[in-house]
Chains A and B, each alone.
Chain A
């Protein structure tokens, strides 16, 4: 055996062994404890049953809401600053300020610059005209960038409380969120949970003899749960009374920490919140204030000093991700933008089972027909091609397990289709070899030329099919994507087994004996 053939044989041995490793958890359940690979092939919702929800995030609405909130805050601040009769209203993406006393104009401009850095004053020569403020483009972009992430995080939290095994919550495109709940047939509760407005509350952690214990909370106290130290959950005993709700918070952001303190979360309150929080913090220095989102304690920092300026910070032993999460929670007492349910699909478990059975049946019948045909038509060459075909399917399914792709019903159809199309390469090669033999070439020469000549046609025809697979992937979602993935992967594996692999077999045949005939 020549060295080149040996290496290629070794390559296929290694690939086959690896595929066995990847596929055992799918077919042997449970896989033996020592097995190095644990993840079975993931089945799409159309095969395992469950609910698929698609939400549209109304991002532009979120920007409108921000401008709205700025308008309200501004109006309040202007009143507090004794500017005189004044109104601030949102008009699309701008805030229009009508002043009764035009002399105060410069004062207003200064106040906006100082307190509302994300609003810019549209330049106007006319001192009599209304002031028009526009939302900074960068601020609008920042909202666009963050809104979907924030909504994702909130939905994930809520779905986690729902207790579904292996839910998927993912962004799709620029403004959509896909929620997949395997095994859920009645999505009503899930939909309510996702769609409701989150409630952000601030409550004092209960202390003293009145508080009671987590098992027997005292009157006026209640037990709420939050994240514990080792990933578990921890009970908090908090006062029932809500001191403040999230609507007074205007912003929160992460600030890189110092060597001694770690990450910090800065937050900004509106005027009403500043006053309220000033009172709360002054009266309760040294106590812990629980930040509660949807009855879940996100954090319970200690009040170290009175916070009266409307700006404060929370320090703790967070890492960056935790700080980011907390900032998100503070920023969005509610979902950052309205969500609209645009698609809902529920597949019952019986249909999933049925689809798997029918898919497998079509696969068995389809491939048996093809395998039988190749055997009858090409005999020896058919045996080689059929072996390549089966190895092809084996690698293809193995790739699904290895890369964690989701197998859908169209995906199974794609595998069946791959069987029908993968033999194309072998047919091209074998037909070519036959032609060369008819011209009187020796088997060795015929094989050599057959592979060489057929390769161009094989390459070009597969490139085009691969391209259509890529376009399909770009276009489709869910099950259709599964089909596109199968189609493209199938082309790669069929080139590997059908062209590269069968060539090894012929090279072995040619190198081992004086070849006078070849069965094709």
Chain B
């Protein structure tokens, strides 16, 4: 992709060290030459990471698992929208019918007008009895025309079981493929660093989903896989610079090179993560209830992914270096 030399290229090339350097005025958020000791902070950040992961895991444990959508658990979901804001208690009341057990009603955050009604672990998918019972309950209580049934979904129990296996496999496969690619492109320890960072990001995102009580369904898994891809994306940029600087500065310690590389790429890291976070925030706020948990998972994942490529992936590489040649 090199442009052919145009006629103007024939002007004598001036040695850069002889001409007075031109003053460049860039609009910058991160001043060049910034030198934050990221590597020195790594043990504090290790604590932060573990704390975040543990809080998430505890939340999942206390909630008795994630807030599974019917994709995973099987069952029936009816998504309704009322004309006026309606107390959630009224809806629960409308649905206390003998044929409906363990109904979960969730306000999906559209000014108290939209609700998802879920009955998990329904019988065979062919039966729409539960969906019908929910619809009847709502009609009896609120009357026809005061609300709109947006979605009705019924999923059989087998789908959920298969999905669990497929989702776990997909996330594992993605992690493995990423780690292998990085290990081949860079070095094995970079691959290991990336893989650890990935697991870290996925765990924290899962925890955040649990704390925010977001529904965990098929699209949430899609978001997790995207986070996996994106997190590596970031790690690659930092690793690429570390590799480049390692060639240039053979005598410096890895920690110094790493710090320099992270600082050099910091501006880029923050800007591109910033734009990615900006658009996911737009999706989260404006995208509507259907992709709410999807956008939420992306948002959290991108923030954590950016953090992890600085504070998780690189320190792991450093740690492995230390083991290889103890100084």
Contacts and interface: CB of A to CB of B under 8 A. Distances in A.
Given A343-B159, A467-B229, A468-B174, A348 B3 contact: no
Contacts of A351: 79, 81, 150-151, 290
B196 interface: no
Contact of B276 (A54, A417, A510): A417
A465 interface: yes
B282 A475 contact: no
Interface string B160-191: 00000011011001100110011001000000
Given A2-B3, A457-B240, A346 B153 contact: yes
Interface residues of B, number: 90
A437 to B, nearest CB: 5
Interface in A171-227: none
B113 to A, nearest CB: 12
B195 to A, nearest CB: 12
B321 interface: no
Contact of B24 (A376, A434, A456): A434
B133 to A, nearest CB: 15
Contacts of B124: 340-341
A156 B24 CA distance: 67
Nearest to B18: A440
A342 B156 CA distance: 5
Contacts of A479: 218-219
Interface string A446-485: 0010010101110011111111110110111101100110
A464 B16 CA distance: 37
A359 interface: yes
Contacts, number: 271
B295 interface: yes
Interface in B121-167: 124-126, 128, 148-156, 158-159, 166-167
Given A342-B156, A439-B16, A480 B290 contact: no
Contacts of A441: 16
Interface of B: 1-6, 8-9, 11, 13-14, 16-17, 19, 21-22, 24, 26-27, 29, 32, 79, 81, 124-126, 128, 148-156, 158-159, 166-167, 169-170, 173-174, 177-178, 181-182, 185, 218-219, 221-222, 225-226, 228-230, 232-234, 236-237, 240-241, 244, 264-265, 267-268, 271-272, 274-280, 282-283, 285-288, 290-291, 294-295, 298
Given A4-B4, A344-B154, A377-B27, 16 more contacts: A342-B125, A343-B159, A350-B150, A366-B282, A374-B275, A379-B27, A416-B280, A428-B268, A435-B32, A438-B24, A456-B240, A457-B240, A460-B181, A465-B229, A472-B226, A511-B8
Which 9 A-B pairs rank lowest in CB-CB distance, beginning with the nearest? A468-B229, A420-B279, A366-B282, A507-B3, A366-B279, A511-B6, A475-B170, A358-B288, A341-B126
